[in-house]
Structure 1
Amino acid sequence: MSNTPTTMKHAIFATAVLSIGSTVHAAISKTCPEEADVCYLLSIPNSTASSGAGDIYFQLSAPTSYQWVALGQGSLMAGSNIFVMYTSADGNNVTVSPRLGLGYRQPLHDTAAHITVLEGSGVSDGVMTANVRCSNCDSWSGGGMNFAGTSSHWIHAYKRGAPLNSDNLAQNVQQHDQSDSFIWDLTQARGGAVANPFVGSASSAVCPAPSTTASGGPSSSPSSGGATGSSSSANVDFYSLSYSKKQRMLNAHAVFA
């Protein structure tokens, strides 16, 4: 990843207000920064949005034709709080590996990350999905994020290829095919209780088709350091996450019943 900050940001946003059961409602913001089939969801409970810190929920989803997919907090790889998803050893679940970005060096496994892989995670119909609760994503050794703010910087990357099917903590992966940064509108992700917002609801959210506007597994107990469907993590060699020089700000908003 280049250490030169880019002014070029990618973002596709879809906001979903989804009913969970009869009383709980959650606001879920969806972004598909590069490909329509690689998407990320974010939900910030009211209590976290009020205080700026606390639990958040996010989802990574992509076809199993992708070897790995990663979402990170931050504008550059260096210092970013990165979460990598790939298929677990049995091929039926997913491994989620929290990493600390180190610029041109291989990201290090971050044992201080407190994440829980939630119900609804796994591999189904050729799609791998990780529903994650993070309890300390407001602060990590490389930086922090204020969830009471209006927007925040994120990065993502992916690699196409055969499934890794691995729980190996020391496993390397090949260099990414694509990576970029984007800005997430946090106001579109606020609302709801501290509970998994994705079960029985995320499937109704559809990532909007890209358009360009020119401008200059079962729940697991909380774990530190990663989870396979519920618990594992692996070494990930992102090499240098590169950023596109083309600016595309893609916005779409939708409400799902």
Structure 2
Amino acid sequence: MPFAATILTLYPEMFPGPLGASLAGRALERGEWSCETVQIRDFASDRHRTVDDTPAGGGAGMVLKADVLGAALDSVADARPILAMTPRGQTITQRRIREIAAGPGVTIICGRFEGFDERFFEARPQVEQISLGDIVLSGGEPAALAILDACIRLLPGVMGAPESGTEESFENGLLEYPQFTRPVEWEGRTIPEVLRSGDHARIAAWRKQRSEDDTRLRRPDLWERHGGARDRSASGARHETKDD
């Protein structure tokens, strides 16, 4: 069965959007994944098709209504993971992306305005509240596209070489090492000699070192998690040796 994506949105015309081009687009044409949209507004019960209302307790903006969202989700509920894109959610990780990509598909709910009525999440606990990071978008659609792109590129055959999806940033808890290509010299800068040496062991060691160095400098949060796990493992090994 192809990977099936269902998007609950107020702007179905935004899909598949850029995912209709390049590798994802060709995979879509081949039937390796599918994209279905559900117009949230179709589940409004009043003649004005109202999907939002003012925040309880006052405040700026509008809030997506729980009753409309619940009805929209119930129309597509299945065994697939259900994600709601919101800056209040947990930051998505590459590990979670791999888990989703390995399954039958995903349902994504795109937030808008000031967000969701919290009772929606209380009544539908299977919904995962997900964020791309510490940014606020005008709506969940761009975030949904990013999530889908991250999943689709991992589907078998989409990228071509299988290793293309494994030697990437975050796959091993670190940033990827820097890349170079021809020409060998450009504006007085040359490709590092080790990468031109043909010595695969040296190249692997250099890449590992650069990956660690760049992660430590650019993403100390990742480095702390990676280094912390390694330090705990080493500490446990020393402790076992001492006890023995």
Q: Give the TM-score normalised by the residue count of structure 1.
A: 0.23
Q: Could you say which structure has the larger radius of gyration? A: 2
Task: Give the structure with the larger helix fraction.
Answer: 2
Bigger RCO (CA 8 Å, 6+ sep): 1
Judging by fraction of residues, say which structure has more strand. 1
| TM-score of the pair, normalised by structure 2 | 0.23
